[in-house]
Amino acid sequence: MEDKIDILQVGTNQMELVDFRMYEQKPDGSIYEGIYGINIAKVKEIIKYPNVIKIPSKESLLDGIYNLRGEVVPIVSLAKWLNIKEPEGITSKKIIITIFNNITVGFIVHDAKRIRRVSWRFVKPPSEVLVHQYGNKIVGTINLDEEHVMLILDFESICEELGIFSEENIKSMQDVAIMESKNKSRKVKILIADDSSTARKIIKTAITPLAEEIIETKDGQEAWDMLNKLYKDNQNSLDGVVDIIITDVEMPNMDGYRFTKLVKEDERFRNIPVIMNTSLSGNANIQKAKDIGVDDFCTKFIAEEFTKTIAKYM
């Protein structure tokens, strides 16, 4: 049956990824080909490496800026961010122009190969070995075959390092939450589903003034299992246990669309407000969210919009 489903239909736990490559020169002189993926929903276009206006800084992740049809786009060196040594003479470099969090950013990659259609259930959290090697830079992995693994990067983490999600931005979110909390007679219990540790940290910091309790989960499957456990532990009720759900879209095992669809189709949970908080932006993604019953849609991390949305459901 699954083969007959339109795999891009919202709520089917499916996605398309751009398969791109980063080459690394090892100490013994060999070249390692790393396989990476980015959700095509974040990709605006892919262009050949253009004439970039260089920014003279050894420390910055920025390689420079590029004028894309009148829009000035920051160009980020993924090789610097991943801390890999680039081989000399790569002629296939491309820039993946992305749009997420309502900003446009270009990422330099060594090659872009193809579009892969996959199920989120095949996306698994990184192993301890990868966490040790990359820290929080990897949010998911996909086994392509017995020898090859695709790594999915945490683009929220990149934006944090670029200063897009600065301490000032987080404080602004917190300030709005504090103001909103003064007008509320109670605090709420909130379930968060987000695979990015950076995103969870920012969300928690921002909503603490509004929250009595925050329950963290790392993907849609874990959040769904948690809802069912809490329901059972509370004698078949979630009254006073979960008041609001905040979910990302892109997550291993089960994405936010599928998770929300399960919640809204289940009479036990359908009355819990679900707020989709995602780096994916644009009308198409908002429409997808509406199609599966999301109560509200926020783009990460717009301070006033996010905290006022939470307060609306208190």
Q: What percent of the chain has pLDDT over 70?
A: 88
- Measure the N-to-C terminal CA separation of the chain; round to a whole number of Å: 41
pLDDT in tens, 127-158: 888 888 888 788 889 999 888 999 998 877 77
- Scan for tokens 């961010």, then name that residue: 81
Structure token digits, residue 15: 């996605």
Whether 19 has a pLDDT exceeding 90, the answer reads: yes
pLDDT in tens, 100-132: 767 788 999 999 999 998 888 888 888 888 888
For residue 247, what is the domain's CATH number? Answer: 3.40.50.2300
pLDDT in tens, 196-255: 887 888 888 888 888 899 999 999 999 999 999 999 999 998 888 999 999 998 888 898
Amino acid present at 228: N
Q: What is the mean pLDDT of residues 44-59?
A: 83
Whether 174 has a pLDDT exceeding 90, the answer reads: no
Start-end of H helices in the chain:
78-82, 128-134, 155-161, 167-181, 197-207, 220-233, 256-265, 283-291, 303-312
Per-residue pLDDT, 273: 96
Higher pLDDT, 55 or 92: 92
Contact in structure between 290 and 43 (CB atoms under 8 Å): no
Judgement on whether residues 207 and 232 belong to the same structural domain of the protein = yes
Task: Give CA separation, 26 vs 14, 20, 30, 108, 112, in Å.
Answer: 35, 19, 5, 20, 21
Higher pLDDT, 223 or 61: 223
Judgement on whether residues 199 and 77 belong to the same structural domain of the protein = no
Per-residue pLDDT, 6: 41
Contact in structure between 284 and 262 (CB atoms under 8 Å): no
Task: Give the Cα separation of 152 and 120 in Å (integer).
Answer: 12
Judgement on whether residues 58 and 177 belong to the same structural domain of the protein = no
Last residue of a domain, one of 146, 161, 176: 161
- 180 phi and psi angles, rounded to 5 deg: -65, -35
Strongest mean pLDDT among 35-49, 182-196, 217-231: 217-231
Judgement on whether residues 143 and 39 belong to the same structural domain of the protein = yes
Per-residue pLDDT, 125: 85
DSSP code of 22? E
Task: Give the Cα separation of 14 and 25 in Å (integer).
Answer: 34
Per-residue pLDDT, 139: 83
Judgement on whether residues 157 and 231 belong to the same structural domain of the protein = no
- 90 phi and psi angles, rounded to 5 deg: -70, 125
Judgement on whether residues 250 and 284 belong to the same structural domain of the protein = yes
Judgement on whether residues 47 and 64 belong to the same structural domain of the protein = yes
Last residue of a domain, one of 114, 140, 161: 161
Strand order in the sheet with 31-39: 111-119, 14-25, 31-39, 149-153, 138-143
The residue segments making up the domain with residue 7 are 2-161
Last residue of a domain, one of 161, 179, 198: 161
Contact in structure between 180 and 308 (CB atoms under 8 Å): yes
Per-residue pLDDT, 183: 74
Q: What is the mean pLDDT of residues 23-52?
A: 91
Judgement on whether residues 140 and 224 belong to the same structural domain of the protein = no
CA triplet 65, 67, 70: central angle to 5 degrees? Answer: 140
Predicted TM-score (pTM) of this structure: 0.68
Amino acid present at 25: Q
- Distance from CA of residue 96 to its chain's centroid? 17
Whether 87 has a pLDDT exceeding 90, the answer reads: yes
Per-residue pLDDT, 155: 75
Whether 9 has a pLDDT exceeding 70, the answer reads: no
Per-residue pLDDT, 303: 64
Judgement on whether residues 8 and 149 belong to the same structural domain of the protein = yes
Per-residue pLDDT, 4: 33
Higher pLDDT, 269 or 4: 269
Judgement on whether residues 138 and 197 belong to the same structural domain of the protein = no
For residue 73, what is the domain's CATH number? Answer: 2.40.50.180
**Of the given ranges (19-28, 235-244, 301-310), which has the lowest mean pLDDT?**
301-310
Judgement on whether residues 56 and 18 belong to the same structural domain of the protein = yes
Q: Count other Cβ atoms within 10 Å, centred on residue 305.
A: 15
Q: What is the mean pLDDT of residues 274-281?
A: 81
Contact in structure between 39 and 248 (CB atoms under 8 Å): no
Task: Give the Cα separation of 311 and 184 in Å (integer).
Answer: 8
Element (H, E) at 148: none
pLDDT in tens, 284-300: 777 888 888 999 988 77
Q: What is the mean pLDDT of residues 90-103?
A: 85
Number of domain units in the chain: 2
Judgement on whether residues 132 and 192 belong to the same structural domain of the protein = no
Bridge partners of 22, per DSSP, are 34
